[in-house]
Structure 1
Amino acid sequence: MRMIRSTLLGGPEDPRWARPVLWVLAALAALLHFLGMGADPHPYYLIGTACAGASVFALYAAVGTRFGHGAGVLAGLALALSPVGIGRTSASDALALLLLILAAHAVAARGPILVRAACALVLGGAGVAVMEAEPWGFDTDLHGANLLAGAGSLADVPGGPFVWLLPFAAVSFAAGLAIARRDRARVAVLLLWGDWTAVSYLGYALGHSNGEAFTVLVPPGIAALAGIGAALMGRTGRPWPAVLSGCVLGTASVAFLVLGTEPDFQPWLRWTVAALACASAALMAGQRLACGSATLSGLLAGLAGPAVLALAAAGIIATG
């Protein structure tokens, strides 16, 4: 009960901005899930919508426990804005993903190791069982890259719907291990999310027979690694702010190239992303720590592409 209350309402040591921002992100994730399912009022879909919002809280807790509020919020933001995030393929997938993220939180949390291991096994087993059973039978054809069908060839680029932040996540994983190498608990959490991302992405990329499940599983790992890496590199001394600046430029370059494959899809977006990335890199140059303006412009540059694509997949904005 104390853990649930702390997750929902925060603690006295939490920054004042963290919980309001988190509630906004959870509401956004729930809205995108609801609209992505066709805004069907069926109660099972409403359960999935609630699970989508709760997944943002769960990922925030799983990341923030070891890496701080900033990393947790960044991870929640990346997950909420993922075009295929939070089990938008079905209500049962949303519940399964929530259970699996909670299992990861149990591994990362502080406390007796046997209790955490037992919780992780129970939650993880329940999540896998729900995902395999598909007990509600309300799946739609909006799975995987099909969520992006309205955006034309954007769904067909190498890496599919995960191309936006996958390179950032890979660099973040390596940088995180280098920065936190003396902290066994942090290294363990990084290895957890690195394994999560690698296994789920390989399952997706290799066309596994249960590829839809892997499509649902990839975004939380990428979001967690991106949030951890951005927070660690942004608040650590040289050379990490420069590496973070390079990550922002690299992510923006990927977005620019991907968006260029479909010039009719929001043509203003690729140039806006490029301008924000250049501004972020210029602001970070020479800074020991990433300043607020650089962080904000870097966030906008890295997440503008997937955010607009997620809004298009949900039918909030036009695809042309």
Structure 2
Amino acid sequence: MTATVTAPAERRRAPAAGRARRLLLGGDGDPRWARPALWAILLLAAALYGWGLPEAGYANTYYSAAVRSGTESWKAFFFGALDAGSYITVDKPPMALWVMGLSARILGFGTWSLLLPQVAEGVAAVAILYATVRRAFGHAAAVIAAAVLALTPITVAINRDNNPDTLLVLLMVAAAWACQRAIATGRLRPLLLAAFLVGCGFNTKMLQAFLVVPAFALAYLIAARPPIARRALHLLAAGAVLAVSSLWWVLAVDLVPARSRPYIGGSTDGTAWDLVIGYNGLGRVLGQDGGRGGPGGGGGFGGRAGAGRLFNDILGGQISWLIPFAVLALAAGLVLLRRRPHTGTGTGRAALILWGGWLAVHYAVFSFAQGTFHPYYSTAMAPAVAALTGAGTVLLLAAHRRSAAWAWILPAGIAATGAWAFVLLDRTPDWHPWLRWLVAAATALAAAALLLGRLVPRAGARTRTRAAVAGLALAAVAALAGPGAYAVSAASTASNGTNPLAGPATGNGSGMPGGMPGGMPGGRPGAMPGGPD
């Protein structure tokens, strides 16, 4: 009798123990270093995003006021109202506020309840990006991608704030995971999940979430397993899910009589639809920022619109460190995987199309947008830059090892990355002046090690392997020392809640208070200015 009672319990414990082991150490087929490396990166991300959070106070008080109002009134919670009386809303849909509002209702309103969800969302985005890149390019590429995303300076800065961009990035990365799974399996359900997640992103920051849609649709249409006609039908079904999951809140708000709901902040006529099309739509692209209370013009925050905006004094140190390498990786990867998508290279090729399209669309819109543009918007580019960096490193290293014609591409990419990092660091020569010389030395040694190990006659396999390992280690220093220093600076200094930035001051990127003054409801000692973004 004892045996018949305990054996099932032991069998139940065994799978649970196996799942815990796989969670901590990875599956049986995983490299022994992969899962510990992931955990180390996630712990690093949590430390960077969560260190010294009490110094942030209420972060962006414009959104904090709305969160506080949502803890006092469910009506204010639903509409995203600035005040518990639901007189006027913030200038964004409320999904990010709902997450923080539920946290504040459970834990009580304060810094931790506001910002812990942001930290968790940021760490989750790193983990999901790892899983997404691993599926297409393997563990090494996934570890590199996760590390790059975790250390992207503007991502660290915004994940320590309560702006909606952190949740938006998480939802878009999760949607990329679902879309990539749909491409690999040919199943409709993951594609519908991707559409739903992008719709949730729309209810976080409206039309910015749709910037990933062209890349997702193109990758699925080109590379998914079903016949072309079925792929088109799948995309139509996903479009229907996207429309419903995006517009339900807008329709629900506008169906409520104007006298029974708050005025929609940022709109010109008090409707959510006007907010979608105007201030959070064409106004961002064309510069017609109607209906907002605060300073206009993107130049005051992100610099003059144009092809070089993302590399200027304000934005360069926030996001651009690895953009040149990501572009090289995309171009080289598409050439290396140029066979038809339905062959063995299909998953990788589809992933390159997805991440490359993500990067290209964001680059075009962010570079040439004439409306208000804050530097922290560029955090939406970070997952694509990280994924392409991880994938490109692995693909180019394999090509470097097997082909003399490709042997110089990876060293050239490392050299270009190090040179650009030197330029960025040289813009603030008094800030850690030794750092740019460390980057220069590591870059030169990395490129030399890779070239010498591959091209020197009589170099044996062991010598080439050692040279490649040394070169890659030095390349990691060259590529990540600069953004890592910026990231640490963001984690160790109090940020501007309205316009968070990482690293030293390099240009006129400071946040300017504007919009409605965000006095905190309840025992407020005075108005705390905040501003819509």
Structure 2 unaligned residues grouped into runs of 5+? 1-18, 58-110, 208-248, 250-299, 303-310, 340-344, 455-464, 494-501, 506-533
Q: Which residue of 2 aligns with 1:174?
A: 331
Find the counterpart in structure 1 of residue 492 from structure 2: 315
* Cα distance in 2 for residues equivalent to 1:93 and 1:81: 16
What is the CA-CA distance between 1:229 and the residue it aligns to?
A: 0.4
- Distance in 2, Cα, partners of 1:282 & 1:226: 20
Percent identity for Structure 1 against Structure 2:
36
Cα pair distance change 1:258/1:36, threshold 3 Å: farther
- Residues 317 and 483, structure 2, Cα contact 8 Å, conserved in 1: no
Q: 1:36 to 1:120 in 2, by over 3 A?
A: farther
Deviation at residue 46 of structure 1 after TM alignment:
0.3
- 2:193 — aligned with what? 119
- Give the alignment partner of residue 361 of structure 2, picking from 192, 195, 199: 199
- 1:299 is aligned, of 476, 480, 501, to 476
Q: 2:173 matched to which residue of 1?
A: 101
- The 8 Å contact of residues 62 and 108 in structure 1, kept in 2 or not, is answered as yes
Amino acid at match of 2:476: L
* Correspondence for 2:235: none
Root-mean-square deviation over aligned CA pairs: 3.1
- Cα deviation digits, residues 131-168 of structure 1 (max 9, x gap): 339x9xxxxxxxxx989xxxxxx972674622211111
1:255–1:20 Cα change, 3 Å? same
- Greater mean alpha carbon deviation, residues 246-255 or residues 83-92: 83-92
Q: What is the aligned counterpart of 1:217 among 380, 394, 404?
A: 380
Alpha-carbon distance, 1:216 to partner: 2.3
Q: Deviations over 1:188-209 (max 9, x none)?
A: 1101101111112222222354
Note closer, same or farther for the CA distance 1:36–1:198 as it changes in structure 2 (3 Å cut). Answer: farther
Letter of the 2:444 counterpart: C
Quick one: distance in 2 between partners of 1:181 and 1:8?
A: 35
- Structure 1 stretch displaced more, 275-284 or 237-246: 237-246
- Structure number with greater Rg is 2
> Where do residues 61-76 of structure 1 align in structure 2 (5 Å cutoff)?
61-76=131-146
TM normalised by structure 2 equals 0.52
Code of the residue aligned with 1:74 in structure 2: it is I
**1:67-86 Cα shifts (integer Å, max 9, x gaps):** 00000110011111100126
* Distance (Å, rounded) in 2 between the aligned partners of 1:24 and 1:286: 32
Cα distance in 2 between the residues matched to 1:158 and 1:130: 23
- The answer to whether the 8 Å contact 1:59/1:224 transfers is yes
Alignment correspondent of 2:396: 233
Q: What is the distance in 2 between the residues matched to 1:123 and 1:162?
A: 24
Q: Is residue 33 of structure 1 aligned with residue 103 of structure 2?
A: no
Matched, 1:262 2:453: no
Q: 1:245 aligns with which of 404, 411, 435?
A: 411
Q: Flag structure 1 segments of 5+ consecutive residues without an equivalent.
A: 136-144, 148-153
Aligned residues: 303
Contact 1:165 1:302 in 2 (8 A): yes
Q: CA deviation at 1:286?
A: 4.0
CA distance in 2, matches of 1:76, 1:61: 9
Q: Displacement, 1:39?
A: 5.1
The question of whether the paired residues in 1 share the 8 Å contact of 2:317 and 2:424 is answered with no
**Whole-Å separation in 2 of the counterparts to 1:178 and 1:5:** 40
Deviation at 1:28, TM superposition (A): 1.6
Q: Which structure has greater helix proportion?
A: 1
- In 2, Cα distance between equivalents of 1:107 and 1:49: 25
Moved more, 81-90 or 173-182: 81-90
Name 2:127's counterpart in structure 1: 57
8 Å CA contact 1:95, 1:130 repeated in 2? yes
1:249 CA displacement: 0.8
Question: Compared with structure 1, are the counterparts of its residues 111 and 280 closer, same or farther at alpha carbon in structure 2 (3 Å cutoff)?
Answer: same
Displacement of 1:241 after TM fit? 4.0
Q: 1:171 to 1:7 in 2, by over 3 A?
A: farther
Cα distance in 2 between the residues matched to 1:217 and 1:158? 13
1:36 and 1:313 in contact (8 A); partners too: no
Distance of aligned partners of 1:318 and 1:106 in 2 relative to their CA distance in 1, 3 Å threshold: closer
Q: Quick one: which amino acid aligns to residue 231 of structure 1?
A: V
Q: Show CA shifts across 1:285-317 (max 9, x none).
A: 144577211111111101111111111122279
Output the CA distance in 2 between the equivalents of 1:5 and 1:130: 34
**CA positional deviation for 1:112:** 3.8
Whether the 8 Å contact between 2:439 and 2:478 is mirrored in structure 1 is yes
| Cα 1:155/1:5, change in 2 over 3 Å | farther
Contact 1:200–1:214 (Cα < 8 Å) also in 2: no
CA deviation profile, 1:65-118 (whole Å, cap 9, x unmatched): 010000011001111110012642436322221111011011222434312211
> Partners of 1:211 and 1:256 in 2: how far apart?
26
Check whether the contact 1:31–1:49 (CA below 8 A) recurs between aligned residues: no
Give TM-score scaled by structure 1 length.
0.84
